[in-house]
Structure 1
Amino acid sequence: MTTPRYDMSGLGEGNASVDRIDAPASATIEREYQSETYYLNVPDARIHVTSISGKPTVAYGIEIPEFGYSRSTTHFLSDGQTGWVELSLLSDAISRDVSPPEEYEARLSIVMRTGDGKLMLYNESIAVEVAK
């Protein structure tokens, strides 16, 4: 049996203090060169953690209601990890016909899970622009 690289016990427990959030104002949908596939690209967000105990988690997500699309990634914080923390979403294929030039409204969220439950750190509308 191999030892995991990260101790998964206690995930989502503990607490953290965040005093600043840098989040993108927009995202893009782009088509790959000579391809019919469109990809959603969401810039990274950052949170500034001033204190932390335990192993809270942070989910960074986007929802585009018009597509019925949502995606998020969970980032694991560690006891003592302070300073700026980068949050990212990998580029993802959109399985819908997209006709530029269009713009869609989306919700961008950052949610922390702690021992006390979920805390919404950020929940704002952003524009998703279809690149020509």
Structure 2
Amino acid sequence: MDATRGVVVAVGALVVVTALVSGPLVPGLSLTNAQQPAYGEGTATVASVEFPERATIERGGFGSESDYLVVPPATVRFGTFDGAPVLTYKIEIPALNYSRGTTHFLSPDTGTRYEATLRSDSLAELPDERTAFDARLSVWIEDTDGRSRVATQNTTVEVVE
């Protein structure tokens, strides 16, 4: 029983010492070779962006006062990709004075194709008579060279029951 207790204490001590040495206690010491670049560093060129044909506003049901904006993903194809650039997928609906974007933190293993998503959002106080709104979708890239819009497309946001 004492030998078992000694092994457990030794393993526990080894885990604690390893965590402290490889963590904040000794800055600059890493037990891995992997170096993750900082987000926004690296380079990316976009070969093409396929935006969805339309987005929808789904009317709230069952007494809900909120309507929900649903925007399908955009497919981004990279010509070149290196490091960890940041991608932002954005929608603007001028008639509603509405703008929203989702930021995607990309990693070195992203590959040449990426599905950029935009989370659904609740909207309040939509005009009852409107069945569609003009909108603009855009994709932005932030890399070592700075931040720039790489693609834009006008689209229609349809109100569905």
Q: Shorter-chain-normalised TM-score: which range?
A: 0.7 to 0.9
In the alignment, what sits opposite 2:158? 129
In the alignment, what sits opposite 1:31? 59
Structure 2 CA distance, aligned partners of 1:37 and 1:106? 20
Of residues 108, 120, 126, the one that matches 1:97 is 126
Unaligned runs of 5+ in 2: 1-22, 24-34
Residue 98 of structure 1: how far off its partner (Å): 3.4
In the alignment, what sits opposite 1:81? 110
In the alignment, what sits opposite 1:67? 96
Alpha-carbon RMSD: 2.2
Contact residue 57 and residue 68 of structure 2 kept, 8 A = yes
Question: Which of the two has greater strand per residue?
Answer: 1
Of residues 34, 38, 42, the one that matches 1:14 is 42
**Once the two structures are superposed, what CA deviation does each residue of 1:18-77 show, in whole Å capped at 9, x if it has no partner?**
212111121100123312310000011111124322211000010111111111011111
With structure 2 as the length reference, what TM-score do the two structures score? 0.71
- Equivalent runs, 1:47-58 vs 2, <5 Å: 47-58=76-87
Residue 10 of structure 1: how far off its partner (Å): 2.1
Contact residue 51 and residue 153 of structure 2 kept, 8 A = no
Question: Which of the two has greater helix per residue?
Answer: 2
Return the index of the structure with the highest Cα Rg. 2
Aligned residue identity for 1:30: E
Q: Secondary structure at the match of 1:66?
A: helix
Indicate the larger mover: 53-62 or 26-35: 26-35
Contact residue 73 and residue 89 of structure 1 kept, 8 A = yes
Residue 101 of structure 1: how far off its partner (Å): 4.8
Identity %: 37
Of residues 97, 110, 114, the one that matches 2:143 is 114
Residue 9 of structure 1: how far off its partner (Å): 6.0
From the superposition, tell whether residues 8 and 130 of structure 1 become closer, same or farther in structure 2 (CA, over 3 Å).
Answer: farther
Structure 1 CA distance, aligned partners of 2:116 and 2:135? 17
